[in-house]
Amino acid sequence: MNPPLSPMALALLRGHQANVATYLSQQAVGGTFREDDLIRIDKAYEELARAGLMQRTAATILILPRVERNTYLLTPDGIAARKALR
């Protein structure tokens, strides 16, 4: 069994859809306006990856001007966990 997730990780998991790149869901948790605001979102995605609920990809996405991040996708366990949250 996975350890409990932080509120931010739960919010991202709940709002994320299968086969949709991460960081496109961030508006659901309040949006981002500065690079410093991404820290809590970055940590939550890493937490989800450590829990086996998301997998980091080689693809990158431009989040803010000159700020790129690797994307993550839900794993099969992540899809099941997301459905269980609903």
Note down pLDDT in tens along the chain; length 86 residues: 466 899 989 988 988 888 887 776 555 556 666 777 788 888 999 999 999 999 999 999 888 788 888 989 999 999 999 999 87
- Residue 2, domain member (yes or no): no
- Residue 30, domain member (yes or no): yes
0.75 cut: is pTM over it?
Answer: yes
- Residue 54, domain member (yes or no): yes
- Residue 79, domain member (yes or no): yes
Structural element, H or E, at residue 15:
helix 7-15
- Residue 1, domain member (yes or no): no
What does the alpha-carbon distance between residue 59 and residue 75 come to, in Å, rounded to a whole number?
16
Name the domain count of the chain: 1
CATH number at residue 71: 1.10.10
Would you give the DSSP letter of residue 54? E
